[in-house]
Amino acid sequence: MQGQSHWGRMLGSLVALLALFPTVSWACAVCWGGDDALAHGMNVSIVFLMAMPFLIGGSIFGILCIAYKRARGERLPSLSLKNLVWGQKEAEE
């Protein structure tokens, strides 16, 4: 196996190990009929971990948009209950 990296051999060994001993890969409690509470906890944690990059990215994007508008001197709409329910123009009347 000339030219193959150390990581490639490690990955190949891991795949061979899982193929030879399939019970090693049965560690997932959700896939093999584990406790219902454990499965629910696993699903909630997966959804939480998937949502985090979007929340962080959206927060950074929002902060950058606000900073850009302030740098240009635009007036930002105020966030009051009237503005959220009726809209900016109707709330000013």
Q: How many residues does the chain have?
A: 93
Return the closest-CA partner of residue 29 out of 47, 15, 5, 46: 46
For 50, residues 6+ apart whose C-beta sits below 8 A from its C-beta are none
Query: Taking the complete model, does pTM exceed 0.75, yes or no?
Result: no
Using the predicted structure, report yes or no on whether residue 24 has a pLDDT greater than 80: no
68 or 2: which leads in pLDDT? 68
Q: What are the structural domain ranges in the chain? A: 1-34, 42-93
Q: What is the mean pLDDT of the chain?
A: 75
Tens digits of per-residue pLDDT, 45-87? 888 999 999 999 999 999 998 888 888 887 766 666 666 566 5
Is the pLDDT at 32 greater than 60? The verdict is no
3: left (phi over 0), alpha (psi -120 to 50) or beta: left
